[in-house]
Structures are given as structure tokens and as C-alpha cells.
């Protein structure tokens, strides 16, 4: 059982460090989908109502362990302030003079935010002592820790994992709700059980296929993930996203799928563009004939129809990762088709991932048409695989 906020006792006058996932899609400094900020509000409000002050720590993007203006949490802090209806003071640093002064001045009922936790290389370090040193500095700011960034609970990082070993810790309301909703799909999924994978975090997410091959009936591959599969089958992929060092692994998956009778569905056609741009010219080409000078930015119309047909009769559908670069309207067709088929199916459907959830909303789908929309892509997939997630294991009590 995950420890809950109530297990932390009386929080009156306490300082609570909350790890949220505020990794929102941005167009410059404009948030294009604020779903993750909205999802973080309930826990913060509960803590404030209990008489605590709240220090939010979060990451944005993947900066290289040092400050970079474009990864500032300023847009997220401003949006959170709007949603809470009260100021959110953003420190200029993570554990430096600005953070120390901000935290020292914090009064019960007030909210502060620390700058992007990934501006410090120790956050994501593989060396335990380095992460622990950062966790100790963060812990000095607060009396208790609440883990509410579901999208990062699969990460063994200082602000997710190590900190929970130093301070009294509990799961926030979002983490609790996500785990409860996703466990529906984990335990004895109704069949056919279909998993749809896409997106751009290819090397991160290819690994889940090994486990899914023992659980799912069909795995549909789209998005940036497709090209490593097509290349593994010996086809040209041009300038498309490719994980060259994963080709043997993918060949292994294809062989295992055949042995186990798991259907791996690949696109039959691709939108092959002249470049990575909203206004790039493109042609619909066969998936085994992508020209060498083109980049695949979406699955083609035949594939979209094929994928929809493989989804509508499913009883459990889990989808992570857009089918194409949906942010460019010309390349949103595959993603729309998958979302629509999930709505049309009468199975239990789960959408996971910051960008996939954003795509559903930005493309105008009704969230009520899905069984669960998770704020975490990698995290929900690893949970569905049956893996022990470090950021959850550390909250068990």
C-alpha cells in the first residue's frame, strides 16, 4: 500500500516539498496544453487546506544538468498561480541562495516553486551518492515530502526516489488516482488486449515491448518508433527517426511475437516529408519505399484505417505516443484515427503520456470518451508491464 498524505499526521505549520510533473508542451513560453499543471492542483490545495506551506519541485524537458532559459519553469509557475488563485513564487535556482531565501520567507498557506530540478546534474546522476547529496539539500527545505509527479515515478532520480528516503514521505492524490485507475488494466485485462506505441522517446519505450509480448494480443507500432522496425525488416527509412543500435533487439521482438502468436501491426504507408516542418511537402509512400531524402512524419491513411480496425474490437486498449508529429496539422491524421477508434471501441481505454494526452485535447476529442487519461507515458507503460517503479516502491508503507 502506498502511504497517503493522511499518514503524515498534522501538517499545520509544516513545510511540504511536493514533487509534481509540470513537464508541459510549450510553444516558446506559451503552454499548449496545461493538463499536467491542472492535475497537480488537488494535492497542493489539500496541503494548503491542512495548514501547510508548499514548495513545488519539478522538471521541464531534458536540460543537460545546467540552467538553460528555455527550460525555465516560469510558464508552469504562472499557470499554477492562476489555477490556485494565489501567487506562486518561483526561485531563480534549485538549492542556491534564491531558493533558500524563498523557502525561508514562506508562510503557511503560501506556495513556492524551485527552478527546474534538472538544472542540477545530480538529479539524474547514476551515482547514488550524487543523487543523495542533492536529496539532502532539498530535504533541508521541508518537514515532509509528497510525491505527486506520476509521470516520473519510473525514474530513480533525486527528487523522486532519494528524497523519499530522507523525509517522511507519502503519495499525493494524483499518484494514488493513477495507480488505482491503471491497476484496472494491469490485473487480468479483458481481451483482445491491444497496445498502441508511438512517440519519439524510442529507446526509452522499446524496452516495454519485451514484457508486453507476454501480455498483449496485438501491438500496433506508429510514430517515431516505426522506423526502427521498418529498418529491422530491411527497408529504407530515409531521414526518419532511427535507433540504429536497437535493430537486433527489434528483430528479436519480431521473432518472439511470431513464436508467441502476438500480432505486431506495422504501418503499410507513411507520410514522407521533405523536412521536419509544419509546411513541409509530403507524399504518401509505401512503408517499404521511403525515399532516402525524406523523413516520415505520420502513418499514412491506409495504415490509419488498418490501426483503427485493430482497435475497435479490443476490450482493453493502452495507447502511448502520438502516431505522427500531430503538432503539425498535416501530420495529425494517424493520431486522430487512433484516438477516434479508442472512443468508438467499447473496451476499457487508457491514454498515457504528456504528449498523447495533450494530443487528445488539442485535437478536440472529449476526454470522457476514454477510460483513463494518464499524465505519464513511460510510467504508465512500465506499471502495465508489471515492473516495480522506484518512485512508487519508496512510498510503500
Ligand X SMILES: Nc1ncnc2c1ncn2[C@@H]1O[C@H](COP(=O)(O)OP(=O)(O)O)[C@@H](O)[C@H]1O
Respond yes or no: is residue 261 known to be catalytic: no
Query: Which one among 35, 63, 267, 321 touches ligand X, defined by CB under 6 A?
Result: 321
Comparing CB distances to ligand X, the nearer of 72 and 320 is 320
Q: Which does 62 bind (CB under 5 to 8 A by kind): ligand X, ligand X15, none?
A: ligand X15
Q: Does 151 bind ligand X15 (CB under 6 A)?
A: yes
Annotated catalytic residue, options 19, 36, 79, 122: 36
Annotated catalytic residue, options 100, 184, 201, 251: 201
Comparing CB distances to ligand X, the nearer of 112 and 323 is 323
Respond yes or no: is residue 354 known to be catalytic: yes
Q: Where are the alpha helices (DSSP H) in 187-332?
A: 202-206, 208-212, 226-232, 247-260, 301-312
Please state the closest distance from residue 321 (CB atom) to ligand X15, in A. Answer: 8
Comparing CB distances to ligand X15, the nearer of 151 and 324 is 151
Kindly report the backbone phi and psi dihedral angles of residue 126, in degrees, each rounded to the nearest multiple of 5, phi listed first: -85, -10
Q: Does 53 bind ligand X (CB under 6 A)?
A: no
Respond yes or no: is residue 191 known to be catalytic: no
The DSSP bridge partners found for residue 54 are 16, 111
The DSSP bridge partners found for residue 195 are 219, 318
Q: Does 165 bind ligand X15 (CB under 6 A)?
A: no
Pairing state of beta strands 263-265 and 372-374? unpaired
3-class SS of residue 15: strand
Respond yes or no: is residue 378 known to be catalytic: yes
Residue 194's contacts (CB-CB under 8 Å, 6 or more residues apart) are: 216, 217, 218, 219, 220, 310, 311, 314, 316, 317, 318
Please state the closest distance from residue 50 (CB atom) to ligand X, in A. Answer: 32
Comparing CB distances to ligand X, the nearer of 3 and 154 is 154
Sign of the alpha-carbon dihedral angle for 136, 139, 141, 147:
positive
Kindly report the backbone phi and psi dihedral angles of residue 146, in degrees, each rounded to the nearest multiple of 5, phi listed first: -120, 120
- Which chain residues interact with ligand X by CB under 6 A? 198-201, 223-224, 241, 296-297, 320-322, 324-325, 327, 353-356, 377
Active site residues: 36, 201, 354, 378
Amino acid at each position: 500500500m502506498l502511504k497517503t498524505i493522511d499518514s503524515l499526521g498534522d501538517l499545520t505549520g509544516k513545510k511540504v516539498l511536493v514533487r509534481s510533473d509540470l513537464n508541459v508542451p510549450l510553444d516558446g513560453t506559451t503552454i499548449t496544453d496545461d493538463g499536467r499543471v491542472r492535475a497537480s492542483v488537488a494535492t497542493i490545495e489539500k496541503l494548503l487546506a491542512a495548514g501547510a506551506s508548499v514548495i513545488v519541485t519539478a522538471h521541464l524537458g531534458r536540460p543537460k544538468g545546467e540552467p538553460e532559459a528555455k527550460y525555465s519553469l516560469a510558464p508552469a509557475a504562472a499557470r499554477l498561480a492562476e489555477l490556485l488563485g494565489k501567487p506562486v513564487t518561483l526561485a531563480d535556482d534549485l538549492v542556491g541562495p534564491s531558493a533558500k531565501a524563498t523557502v525561508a520567507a514562506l508562510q503557511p498557506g503560501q506556495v513556492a516553486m524551485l527552478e527546474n530540478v534538472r538544472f542540477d546534474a545530480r538529479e539524474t546522476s547514476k551515482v547514488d551518492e550524487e543523487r543523495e547529496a542533492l536529496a539532502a539539500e532539498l530535504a533541508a527545505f521541508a518537514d515532509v515530502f509528497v510525491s505527486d509527479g506520476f509521470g516520473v515515478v519510473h525514474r530513480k532520480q533525486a527528487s523522486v526516489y532519494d528524497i523519499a528516503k530522507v523525509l517522511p514521505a507519502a503519495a499525493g492524490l494524483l499518484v494514488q488516482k493513477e495507480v488505482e485507475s491503471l491497476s484496472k488494466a494491469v490485473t487480468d485485462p479483458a481481451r483482445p488486449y491491444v497496445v498502441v506505441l508511438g512517440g519519439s522517446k524510442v529507446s526509452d519505450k522499446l524496452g516495454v515491448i519485451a514484457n508486453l509480448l507476454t501480455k498483449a494480443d496485438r501491438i500496433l507500432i506508429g510514430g517515431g518508433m516505426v522506423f526502427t522496425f521498418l529498418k529491422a525488416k530491411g527497408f529504407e527509412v530515409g531521414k526518419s527517426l532511427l535507433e540504429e543500435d536497437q535493430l537486433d533487439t527489434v528483430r528479436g521482438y519480431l521473432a518472439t511475437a511470431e513464436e508467441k502468436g502476438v500480432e505486431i501491426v506495422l504501418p503499410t504507408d507513411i507520410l514522407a516529408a521533405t523536412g521536419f516542418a509544419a509546411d513541409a511537402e509530403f507524399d504518401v509512400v509505401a512503408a517499404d519505399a521511403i525515399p532516402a531524402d525524406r523523413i516520415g512524419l505520420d502513418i499514412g491513411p491506409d495504415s490509419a484505417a488498418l490501426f483503427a480496425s485493430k482497435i475497435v474490437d479490443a476490450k482493453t486498449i493502452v495507447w502511448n505516443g502520438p502516431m505522427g508529429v500531430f503538432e503539425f496539422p498535416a501530420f495529425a491524421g494517424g493520431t486522430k484515427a487512433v484516438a477516434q477508434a479508442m472512443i468508438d471501441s467499447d473496451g476499457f481505454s487508457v491514454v498515457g503520456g504528456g504528449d498523447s494526452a495533450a494530443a487528445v485535447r488539442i485535437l478536440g476529442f472529449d476526454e470522457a470518451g476514454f477510460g483513463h487519461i494518464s499524465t505519464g507515458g513511460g510510467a504508465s507503460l512500465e506499471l502495465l508491464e508489471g515492473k516495480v517503479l522506484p518512485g512508487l516502491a519508496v512510498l510503500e508503507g
